[in-house]
C-alpha cells in the first residue's frame, strides 16, 4: 500500500523476510553504527561492508545481497557510478542511497540510475530501517521535500520512449498492466478478467519485455508517470503485491 506524506512516497510490504544488506560507506565508524541499528531491527542482516563503489560492485557480485545502502562521496569509485553499474549488471540487487547531500540534482540522477530510495544521514535510524524495508519490497522511498514531484522529474526523460513502447502493447496487455498498477495480484487479475493465472503471468511477462521493465518498482514508476490506472491512478487497491 502506498502512503503519502510531506517527505516520502512509501510502498509498504506485509511480509517481513530477512533482508540481506551491504553497507557502502568510507567511514568505518558510520558503518559500525548503521550495522548496530540495522541488526537490532530483527529482519535485517548486514552481510558485507564496502569502503567504496568498486567494493560495493564486487560484493553485489559475490554476495548477491538484497540491497546495498550506498553513500555518494567515497574515496575511489563514487556512489552514482556504482549504482548505475549495479542496477545494470545485477538488477536483482536494489540500491538505497544514504547521504548527507540534500541536493535535487543528486536525487534525480540516482533515481534515473535505478536507486529505489534516497535518505539523508540526518534521518533517525527508524527511517533508514523503514526505507530498507520499503525498497526491498519493491517501493520507492524519499525522505526529502517534494518527493512525488522529484520522482516525476526523474522519470520525465523516459516519457517519449515509454509512451511508444506502451502503444506497442495489445489491448489485453494494457488491461493487465492497468490492473497491476492498481495493485491487483495475478490471482485477482485472473478473476477479474476470467482467465487463468498462467495467462495473466504470460501477459505480464510479455508486456514487461515490450516496455523494457524488469521489476515491480519500475512498473510502479511507469504507472506514476503515465497514469496507466486512469480511473484513479494515485489510489491503489488494498493489495499492491505481485506474487
Tens-digit pLDDT profile for residues 68-122: 999 998 888 899 999 999 999 999 999 999 999 888 888 888 888 899 999 999 9
Look at residue 224 in the predicted model and tell me its pLDDT.
63
Nearest to 240 by CA among 131, 225, 223: 223
User: What's phi and psi for 74, nearest 5 deg?
Assistant: -130, 155
- Please give the angle made by the CA atoms of 211, 215 and 218, to the nearest 5 degrees: 65
Grid coordinates representing 61?
A: 557480485
Over 80: is that where the pLDDT of 15 sits? Answer: no
Look at residue 235 in the predicted model and tell me its pLDDT.
36
Please, which pLDDT band fits residue 33 given cuts at 50, 70 and 90? very high
Is pLDDT larger for residue 147 or for residue 74? 74
Over 90: is that where the pLDDT of 38 sits? Answer: yes
Q: Would you list the domain boundaries of the chain?
A: 2-145, 156-226
Please, which pLDDT band fits residue 125 given cuts at 50, 70 and 90? very high
Distance, CA of 186 to CA of 209 (rounded, Å): 17
Look at residue 13 in the predicted model and tell me its pLDDT.
45
Please, which pLDDT band fits residue 229 given cuts at 50, 70 and 90? very low
CATH class of the 156-226 domain in this structure:
mainly alpha
Judge whether 211 and 165 are in contact, CB under 8 Å: yes
Per-residue pLDDT tens over the stretch 170-181: 889 888 888 887
Q: Which CATH architecture best describes the domain 2-145?
A: 3-Layer(aba) Sandwich (3.40)
Task: Give the chain's length.
Answer: 243
Amino acid at each position: 500500500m502506498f502512503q503519502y506524506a510531506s517527505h516520502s512516497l512509501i510502498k509498504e510490504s506485509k511480509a517481513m523476510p530477512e533482508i540481506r544488506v551491504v553497507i557502502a560507506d568510507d567511514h568505518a565508524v558510520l558503518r559500525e553504527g548503521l550495522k548496530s541499528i540495522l541488526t537490532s531491527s530483527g529482519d535485517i542482516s548486514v552481510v558485507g561492508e564496502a569502503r567504496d563503489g568498486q567494493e560495493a560492485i564486487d560484493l553485489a557480485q559475490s554476495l548477491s545481497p538484497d540491497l546495498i545502502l550506498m553513500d555518494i562521496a567515497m574515496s575511489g569509485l563514487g556512489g552514482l557510478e556504482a549504482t548505475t553499474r549495479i542496477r545494470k549488471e545485477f538488477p536483482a540487487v536494489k540500491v538505497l542511497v544514504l547521504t548527507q547531500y540534500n541536493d535535487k540534482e543528486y536525487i534525480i540522477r540516482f533515481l534515473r540510475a535505478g536507486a529505489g530510495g534516497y535518505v539523508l544521514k540526518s534521518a533517525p535510524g527508524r527511517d533508514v530501517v523503514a526505507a530498507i524495508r520499503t525498497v526491498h519490497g519493491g517501493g520507492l522511498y524519499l525522505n526529502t521535500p517534494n518527493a512525488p514531484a522529484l520522482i516525476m522529474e526523474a522519470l520525465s526523460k523516459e516519457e517519449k520512449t515509454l509512451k511508444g513502447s506502451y502503444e506497442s502493447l495489445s489491448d489485453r496487455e494494457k488491461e493487465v498492466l492497468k490492473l497491476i498498477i492498481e495493485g491487483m495480484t495475478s490471482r485477482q487479475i485472473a478473476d477479474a478478467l476470467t482467465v487463468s493465472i498462467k495467462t495473466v503471468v504470460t501477459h505480464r511477462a510479455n508486456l514487461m519485455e515490450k516496455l523494457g521493465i524488469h521489476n515491480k518498482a519500475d512498473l510502479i514508476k511507469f504507472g506514476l508517470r503515465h497514469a496507466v490506472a486512469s480511473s484513479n491512478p494515485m489510489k491503489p487497491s488494498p493489495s499492491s503485491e505481485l506474487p
